[in-house]
Amino acid sequence: MKATAGSSPASPARTASPVRIEIAPSVLAADFSRLAEELARVATADRAHVDVMDNHFVPNLTIGPAVVESLVRESPIPVDCHLMIEDPDRWAPVYVEAGVRDVTFHAEAAKAPVRLARELRAQGARAGLALRPATPVEPYLDLLEEFDLILIMTVEPGFGGQKFLDGTLPKLRRTRDAVRASGLEIQLQVDGGVGQDTVARCVEAGANVLVAGTAIFGAPDPARAVAELRAAAEAHLP
Ligand code: DX5
Ligand code: ZN
């Protein structure tokens, strides 16, 4: 939704759209023997976050394109794939063919991130760039227009249930500032240790897409956890 001039006479003129919070349950924390049912439980969320791991880029292994294609068919909400794999230049386009709307690959793994992002967009997907906690964002700030989403990892990728790293927040703020200055519509995603205790820090530092595995699927009522996370996030919008 675009902010329109004159829509709110009391507020100053704005050029950027208002921030829209999106909640992205990570199915890594769901029951893998009944993923379709698990997705149905979080149908009030905005996107399903699906972690693809290859046991090379990270020391863990999950699912590949065939299962993702089935999930896309079953999911009541758009699927967002987080590729924690080597050679995304080769594999990321396969996930677009599987029907994924948002494909995020790691900067550390891609040989040609700009070429890959352009290829994903040409296929009709949105291109996301993910950064491990120790990867600087600065080399990418002049290339923001190539991406639809930047994922600032708030834990080392590979496993759910880890402790949120506060040390990633300055990078999130710098990314937020650069996106604002650019005037581009780029979503800022955080992933890892996001829950009621940490969501305020994330939103205040500029995140609008909140990935949460344990905090949602580990809760007795995942739909309620989605609503509560959304309420907490919206309450802390700057
Ligand atoms: C970890 C994954 C995350 C994971 C987050 O590498 O990328 O998406 O599911 O799990 P929590 O929310 O439990 O930290
Ligand atoms: Zn993830």
For 58-87, the pLDDT digits (tens) are 999 999 999 999 999 999 999 999 999 999
User: In order of start, what are the domains of the chain with their CATH numbers?
Assistant: 22-234 (3.20.20.70)
Q: How many Cβ atoms sit within 10 Å of the Cβ of residue 19?
A: 17
Residue 15's pLDDT is what? 52
34 CA to centre of ligand 2 in angstroms: 19
**pLDDT band of 173, cuts 50, 70, 90:** very high
Find, among 104, 166, 156, 102, the residue nearest to 130 by Cα. Answer: 104
User: Which atom from ligand 1 is nearest to the alpha carbon of 193?
Assistant: 14
Give the residue numbers annotated as catalytic, written as ranges. 51, 191
Q: Is the pLDDT of residue 4 over 70?
A: no
Per-residue pLDDT reduced to its tens digit, 100-140:
999 999 999 999 999 999 999 999 999 999 999 999 999 99
Backbone angles phi, psi at 22, to 5 degrees: -125, 135
Per-residue pLDDT reduced to its tens digit, 10-22:
444 445 678 999 9
User: Which atom from ligand 1 is nearest to the alpha carbon of 194?
Assistant: 12
